[in-house]
Structure 1
Amino acid sequence: MRNQSMIRRTVLAAGLTAAFALIPLSQVAAQDASADGSMQRSNQTVPDKAADAWITTKVKSEFGTSKAVKATDVSVTTVDGMVTLSGNVGSAQEKADAVRVAKSVKGVKGVDASALTVNASAEH
């Protein structure tokens, strides 16, 4: 009985690990599919795209664990190591925290937060 339970847990853990390992690859595919509907060719190689997807995933997860940034209101995209943040934040401090958190992720070459707007009604 204990062996069956242990085997189930091991198989479940292995399945979850495999599923989480595929997330960056699925994001690469999604980014390719949603390239503004155009058929533009990118000079990025597959490893570069995978690295960008990993950076995007890591930035989002850092936002999720940070109390300073409301992760659900911030979108993250990465191209050639450059992270672009967009969406709405509640204050200028939250915007600064989002930039700081994104810059702290390994592999990030720079952060563009020009599309990240401060919601004026939430600031007061």
Structure 2
Amino acid sequence: MKKTIRNHPRAVLAVALSATLLFSAGQAMAQANEPEEKSTEAVNGSAQPVNDTWITTKVKADLLATENVSGLDIKVETVNGVVTLSGAVANKAQKDKAVEVATKIKGVTRVDSSGLTLASR
């Protein structure tokens, strides 16, 4: 071993440096992969993150898929889990249904429907 170190000091140094860098990179990667957003595991058993963008997308998709709700005419915004619905709906039943759909989405803390108006025909 001593002979190897004497004859190849740069190789030994390179191996030691490579091992150190590999270890450091592994730790940096592990820290970078820690979730920054809260997880829905406690909410619904899934490991998918809940964030405002996800909530908005899910509410909008569910509104579009719901019968008797004009999902194209309803704008959805989410800030800190509070969903704000705005736009025009045909009647109070559609407004109530839109609020019900949004309320059922995981991560939604409150729904503000004050921006939904009844369209005049």
Is TM > 0.5 for Structure 1 vs Structure 2? yes
Q: Percent identity?
A: 44
Selected match of 2:37 from 47, 72, 82: 47
Q: Please give the alpha-carbon distance, in whole angstroms, between the structure 2 residues aligned to 1:47 and 1:83.
A: 18
Equivalent pair of 1:91/1:120 in contact (CA under 8 Å): no
What's the C-alpha RMSD, in Å, of the aligned pairs? 1.8
TM-score by length of 1: 0.57
Superimposed CA distance per residue, residues 73-123 of structure 1 (whole angstroms, 9 cap, x where no aligned partner): 0000000000000000000000000000000111100000001001132xx
Count of paired positions? 76
Letter in 1 for 2:114: S
Question: Which residue of structure 2 lines up, in the alignment, with residue 63 of structure 1?
Answer: 63
Q: Does 1:118 align with 2:108?
A: no
What are the equivalent positions in structure 2 for 1:22-37 lying under 5 Å apart? none
Dislocated runs of 4+, deviation >6 Å = none
Superimposed CA distance per residue, residues 44-101 of structure 1 (whole angstroms, 9 cap, x where no aligned partner): xx737x7000000000000111013111100000000000000000000000000000
Question: Which residue of structure 2 lines up, in the alignment, with residue 40 of structure 1?
Answer: none
Q: Please give the alpha-carbon distance, in whole angstroms, between the structure 1 residues aligned to 2:119 and 2:68.
A: 15
Letter in 1 for 2:88: N
Higher helix share: 1
Q: Please give the alpha-carbon distance, in whole angstroms, between the structure 2 residues aligned to 1:61 and 1:106.
A: 14
Question: Which residue of structure 1 lines up, in the alignment, with residue 103 of structure 2?
Answer: 103
Letter in 2 for 1:110: R
Structure 1 residue runs of 5 or longer lacking an equivalent are 1-45
Letter in 2 for 1:118: L
Secondary structure in 2 matching 1:117: strand
Equivalent pair of 1:91/1:119 in contact (CA under 8 Å): yes
